[in-house]
Amino acid sequence: MERFFGLVHVPDTTSQTLKNAINYVLSRNNLDLKSIRGQGYDGASNMRGHFKGLQALISNDCPYAYYVHCFAHRLQLALMAASQGVVALHKFFTRLSFVINVVDASSKRTDQLRDAQAEEIAYKISVDELETCKGLNQIGTLQQPGDTRWSSHPSLIKMFSPTCEVLLKIIKDGTGPIKGDADSAYESITTFEFIFVLHLDQEIMEITDLLCQALQRQSQDICNALRLVASTKLLLQKMKDVRWDGLLSLVMSFCHERNIDIPDMTSPYFTRGTRARNELSDHTLEHHYRVDIFYEAINCQLMELNHRFSDRSTELLRLSTTLDPKSVDEPFRCGDVIKLVEKFYPEDFNEQEKVVLKIKLQHYEIDVVQHADYKLLTSMSELCQWLIKTRRVVNFHLIYRVASLILTLPVSTATTKRSFSAMNLIKTRLQNKIEDELLNESLVLHFERELAKKISLETVIEDFKKAKDRRVPL
């Protein structure tokens, strides 16, 4: 359960300033800093620094407030690093952004893209190439592949032909620089390499999407998150081992249907040499696509996932999975629970309770773990509720305390961060409609005051315009 305490203005974002602000909020709400058992921030240096970061400063006062880097943010960093670490992927995203900027530069082109999609969908339905059902065959637009929208670009595969049609219209009817931009964009997306990387990224995104969506849920427990990370790694490794031939056939079929040139994979591959000259390499073109792009992209992705979700940094999380009901098929490890308490939560249990806990765990294994209903539980949260519902919490209150401590560790994005995302939308709309010189402290205060009165955004903007015309301060 999350509770929002409020917004605090800070003069800067140094770790010490943020720590003082947190201390102020906690003291105002009569909360003790030493009672903190979990910290969750992003990966910025002022937050995660081992010596002077915010998590380090709080850990100095409360050594059992364990820092868990937001799992969703870790995944985004891993995906971003993979896109920037492989040359072919980096070039792909650069070209993709350029294509989207050309196609989505005006509402007229957006309408043309929608019309082209509608015509293509209608044609495919008429020849029985598409199924018709509620929710299928939606008409959409292209989105920029941002840091938090990594998986948005595979929609280009569905809109590939309509996008090419719009670019050809711009080439035919356009004038000036836009005509040249459209021609460059069309040449970029109709190359075999661009289409190959587009399909490769789509398959990688299909594997990581479940993990990505799960980590962005408002409620997510550590045990389930760790299982999803492990299964994602296994699926990526499986894709590397068995998917090459299928992917290459899929890309060739896609190009053949759209009359896009398919290179001879047995021909030699030319690498870029000195003085901008191409040099003949010892490898074939098939080797280039398979090793330099396919294997390299998946290896880089696996390496980043192993780095961001390393076993060394997740010992606490690994020990926490012992009480997870989904581990019912594995032998119950009483020693891991004892180690978890003695190493990570010694202040929450006195010596007498630690002795009693060892005995209680033996009864817990027989009375709870071997119970038929226990196998139906799917999370730590359900386990705690079941212990209360069956009144077993009376006998196993120490184990319930351990489970409660595990549940306090933050994994998913905080609800308040979602609120900030919504606030940014309002701020962007406001900045787009008024001039920058009006964005001062008095304007912000006036906007907040009017917003508190539930006056519409359009009314507020109209007030700004009137004030500017009268040349009076707000």
Q: Mind listing the pLDDT tens digit for each residue in 189-231? A: 999 999 999 999 889 888 888 777 777 666 666 667 777 888 9
Q: Does residue 436 or residue 292 have the better pLDDT?
A: 292
The pLDDT of residue 129 is 64
The pLDDT of residue 445 is 54
Amino acid letter at 461?
I
351-377: average pLDDT:
91
Residue pLDDT, tens place only, 59-82: 888 888 888 777 667 777 777 777
Residue pLDDT, tens place only, 119-167: 777 766 666 666 666 555 556 566 666 554 444 454 688 888 888 888 8
Residues 6+ apart with CB under 8 A from 274: none
The pair of three-digit structure tokens given for residue 41, joined into one six-digit string: 């921030």
Which of 7, 35, 5, 10 shows the shortest CA–CA distance to 20?
10
Q: Where are the alpha helices (DSSP H) in 174-217?
A: 177-189, 192-215
Backbone angles phi, psi at 38, to 5 degrees: -165, 145
**E strands, 61-101, where?**
66-67
88-117: average pLDDT:
82
Sign for the CA dihedral angle at 318, 323, 328, 329 comes to: positive
Residue pLDDT, tens place only, 380-421: 888 999 999 999 999 999 999 999 888 887 665 556 666 666
Question: By 3-state DSSP, what share of the chain in percent is helix, strand and coil, each rounded to 5?
Answer: 70, 5, 30
Q: Residue 130, SS3?
A: coil
* Cα radius of gyration rounded to whole Å, the chain: 28
Let me know: does 93 contact 124? Beta carbons within 8 Å. Answer: no
Let me know: does 58 contact 22? Beta carbons within 8 Å. Answer: yes
Q: Where are the alpha helices (DSSP H) in 216-272?
A: 222-242, 244-257
